[in-house]
Structure 1
């Protein structure tokens, strides 16, 4: 029988992985693309655990790379369902890197990914609601609501903007651009 609501803790996922030289970029730091891949994997696991269904990434809402991750550090990702709609959920992910020799940890990344539950045929599936049991859970839910509202406003405003170039030439003055139009 399907649960109409689930506690946040029931869907939380934690993964840890040692960062290897094969994960690094040309500067010797861990490649952001590799971290994005791990973020998508843990978001899938967390969302699928909450919904009980297959989930797909609808949008990567925010990815803030705060500090570089070094080769040899142990990266731990902690994912939670921060918000639920009817078929979608916002997964919040915290990324920490630990120097395994010293035990020193650093917060490297915060991410918010929207996932949607789907049937095998690709139809969206209603998901369980969320039981919030403390101020931290409530704050994360409210912040997700605000991010969703801001995203909708930004999208609406962007669509309404007139990008006719001749109306906006003056906005390019003083910018690092040269106009060489035919």
Structure 2
């Protein structure tokens, strides 16, 4: 039987103060700097899940919904949603906080995929992720569809071989007719 770990065991949080060197000419956090922070917190989460070295395999769509200003505090939270053979999907949420104004809001959300590797850099099996609450179950259930979509978009899976995506592709076929 494959090892198991609860999703909550991978929970990671990271907090940073946005300084001038982190910002663009509009005094907002640069997108590349935010993605760097997201990659770090997600990698820590994946490592907590598998107790192995991990490498970033993919980054899903990252939308920059609201700016994060100079002097704001950014908090990133990450947790493994599901594990496959050697890969893990990690959900990241980003919050910005203007402490003097007592305002906090969510700015970003994304899914990153990591692969656990051994000492020679070859993929290695990871424990199954076990959801414990409704939100974790929701993310777990959607992970297979997101994984298949990633593989189709990367050309590593044919759309017809992605059962979780059939309804999407069938709709598109009907519209094309």
TM-score (norm: length of structure 2):
0.83
8 A Cα contact 1:87 1:125, kept in partner: yes
Distance 2:73 2:26 in 1: 19
- Gap runs ≥5 in structure 1: 161-182
Using the TM superposition, give the Cα deviation of residue 153 of structure 1 relative to its aligned residue in structure 2, in angstroms.
Answer: 3.5
Could you say which residue in structure 2 is the equivalent of 1:88? 87
Could you say which residue in structure 1 is the equivalent of 2:107? 108
Q: CA RMSD in A?
A: 2.0
Q: Secondary structure at the match of 2:80?
A: strand
Could you say which residue in structure 2 is the equivalent of 1:142? 141
Distance 2:14 2:29 in 1: 17
Could you say which residue in structure 1 is the equivalent of 2:150? 151
TM-score (norm: length of structure 1):
0.81
Q: Secondary structure at the match of 1:33?
A: helix
Using the TM superposition, give the Cα deviation of residue 64 of structure 1 relative to its aligned residue in structure 2, in angstroms.
Answer: 1.9
Q: Which structure's CA Rg is the greater one?
A: 1
| Structure 2 counterparts to residues 1-150 of structure 1, below 5 A | 4-150=3-149
- Gap runs ≥5 in structure 2: 160-177
Using the TM superposition, give the Cα deviation of residue 62 of structure 1 relative to its aligned residue in structure 2, in angstroms.
Answer: 2.3
8 A Cα contact 1:82 1:144, kept in partner: yes
Q: Secondary structure at the match of 2:123?
A: coil
8 A Cα contact 1:62 1:113, kept in partner: no
Aligned length: 158
Using the TM superposition, give the Cα deviation of residue 156 of structure 1 relative to its aligned residue in structure 2, in angstroms.
Answer: 4.5
12-21 vs 140-149, which deviates more?
140-149
Distance 1:147 1:66 in 2: 21
Q: Deviations over 1:95-135 (max 9, x none)?
A: 00001112211111111110000011011111111111111
Distance 1:29 1:23 in 2: 8
